[in-house]
C-alpha cells in the first residue's frame, strides 16, 4: 500500500510516463528553489549573502552561517571566501528544498543509536538539524563568551569550529560531529556546485581550482598533455548565470 506515494502526488506514468526530468523541469526547479530571487527579480551580482532574504534561515541563523562558512572558506590571497561565493544563499535554498526535507531518505522509526558503520540514524531532517544545532551553538557562545558566534574574533570562531569537528560541544540529540560534517559538506557544495544553484558565485570555487564547468567536448584537448585548458568558465545556464538568475533569459 503506497499511501505516501499517492499523497505526494509525484506523478504517474505508464508507458513513457510524463514525469521526465527535462532541462525545463530543472530550470523550473531552480526557479522554484529560489523564490526570493524570483520575487526580487534582481539579486545583486556581487552583494553579500545578507543582501538576499533567506527562504529557510531566520536572519540570525543566516548571520551564523555567514560567519561560520567564511571561516571554513575564508577570503584570502587566493580569492573570495564563502560569503563572496554566495554560500549562505546556497545552503538556505538547499534546506528549503527536497534535501532540507530529507525527501529521498528513509525516515521511518524506530530510531535506535547505531555504530559508525551504519551511518546516519537521526530522526531529524537536515533543515531541522541546522535549526536545532545553530540554536545550541549560539547558546553555547553566549554562555561562554557573552555574544553570538558572528561577533567572536576569528580565532575564537575557529576554536569553536574545531571543537564541533571533534565532537566536543554538546548539541543535545545532534552529535556535534554530525552537524559540523553536514555544514562543511554543504559549504563545499556551495563553493563547488554549478552556479545555477546560487553558490559558486562568479565561479569562485571553480576559478580557485581550475575546473572550467560543464563542457561537453574535449576530443581534441585531451591529447594536449600538460597544457592548461583555456576556454572560459561556463555553467549549466551559460557563461553568466547571474543573468539567468535575474530572470533575463
Evaluated on CA atoms 171, 177, 179, 184, the torsion sign reads positive
What is the helix, strand, coil percentage profile of the chain, to 5?
Answer: 50, 0, 50
What angle (nearest 5°) sits at the alpha carbon of residue 223, between those of residues 218 and 227?
90
Question: Least CB distance from residue 98 to another protein, whole Å?
Answer: 7
Per-residue DSSP letters for 207-248? HHHT---S----TTTTTSTTPPP-SPP-BTTBS-HHHHHTT-
Q: Phi and psi for 138 in degrees, rounded to 5? A: -65, -40
CA 145 to chain centre: 28
For another protein, the closer of residues 118 and 143 by Cβ is: 118
56 lies in the binding site for another protein (CB under 8 A): no
Question: Least CB distance from residue 62 to another protein, whole Å?
Answer: 20
Please classify residue 89 by burial: count the beta carbons closer than 10 Å to its beta carbon, then call 0-12 exposed, 13-18 middle and 19+ buried: buried
Question: Least CB distance from residue 127 to another protein, whole Å?
Answer: 14
Note the maximum CA span of the chain: 62
For another protein, the closer of residues 146 and 223 by Cβ is: 223
Using CA atoms, how far apart are residues 72 and 61, in angstroms rounded to an integer? Answer: 16
Which residues have C-beta within 8 Å of that of residue 137, sequence separation ≥ 6? Answer: 64, 149, 160, 164, 169, 171, 179
For another protein, the closer of residues 1 and 39 by Cβ is: 1
166 lies in the binding site for another protein (CB under 8 A): no
From candidates 47, 150, 238, 246, binder to another protein by CB under 8 A: 238
* Window 61 to 80, contacts with another protein (CB under 8 A): 71-74, 76, 78-79
* Window 172 to 191, contacts with another protein (CB under 8 A): 184, 187-189
Residue 158, Cβ neighbours under 10 Å: how many?
Answer: 14
155 lies in the binding site for another protein (CB under 8 A): no
Question: C-alpha cell of 198?
Answer: 546560487
Question: Least CB distance from residue 248 to another protein, whole Å?
Answer: 8
Binding segment (CB under 8 A) for another protein, from list 40-48, 50-58, 137-145, 232-240 = 232-240
153 lies in the binding site for another protein (CB under 8 A): no
Residue 195, Cβ neighbours under 10 Å: how many?
Answer: 28
Binding segment (CB under 8 A) for another protein, from list 37-45, 54-62, 168-176, 224-232 = 224-232
Question: Least CB distance from residue 135 to another protein, whole Å?
Answer: 23
1 lies in the binding site for another protein (CB under 8 A): yes
* Window 88 to 107, contacts with another protein (CB under 8 A): 98-99, 102-107
Contacts with another protein, 111-150, as mask; x by CB under 8 A? -x-xxxxxxxx-----------------------------
Amino acid at each position: 500500500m503506497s499511501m505516501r506515494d499517492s499523497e505526494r502526488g509525484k506523478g504517474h506514468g505508464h508507458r513513457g510516463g510524463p514525469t521526465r526530468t527535462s532541462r525545463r523541469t530543472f530550470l523550473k526547479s531552480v526557479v522554484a528553489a529560489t523564490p526570493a530571487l524570483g520575487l526580487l527579480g534582481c539579486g545583486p551580482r556581487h552583494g553579500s549573502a545578507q543582501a538576499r532574504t533567506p527562504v529557510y534561515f531566520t536572519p540570525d541563523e543566516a548571520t551564523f552561517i555567514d560567519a561560520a562558512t567564511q571561516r571554513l572558506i575564508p577570503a584570502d590571497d587566493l580569492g573570495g571566501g564563502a560569503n563572496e561565493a554566495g554560500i549562505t544563499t546556497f545552503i538556505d535554498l538547499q534546506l528549503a528544498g527536497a534535501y532540507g526535507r530529507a525527501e529521498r531518505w528513509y525516515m521511518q522509526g524506530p530510531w535506535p543509536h547505531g555504530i559508525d558503520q551504519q551511518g546516519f540514524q537521526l530522526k531529524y531532517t537536515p533543515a531541522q538539524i541546522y535549526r536545532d544545532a545553530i540554536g545550541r551553538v549560539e547558546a553555547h557562545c553566549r554562555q561562554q563568551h557573552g555574544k553570538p558566534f558572528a561577533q567572536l574574533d576569528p580565532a575564537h570562531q575557529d576554536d569553536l569550529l574545531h571543537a564541533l569537528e571533534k565532537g566536543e560541544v554538546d548539541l543535545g540529540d545532534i552529535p556535534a560531529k554530525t552537524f559540523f560534517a553536514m555544514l562543511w559538506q554543504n559549504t563545499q557544495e556551495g563553493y563547488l556546485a554549478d552556479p545555477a544553484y546560487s553558490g559558486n558565485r562568479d565561479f569562485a570555487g571553480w576559478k580557485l581550482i581550475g575546473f572550467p564547468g560543464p563542457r561537453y567536448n574535449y576530443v581534441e584537448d585531451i591529447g594536449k598533455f600538460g597544457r592548461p585548458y583555456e576556454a572560459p568558465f561556463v555553467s549549466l545556464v551559460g557563461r553568466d548565470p547571474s543573468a539567468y538568475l535575474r530572470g533575463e533569459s
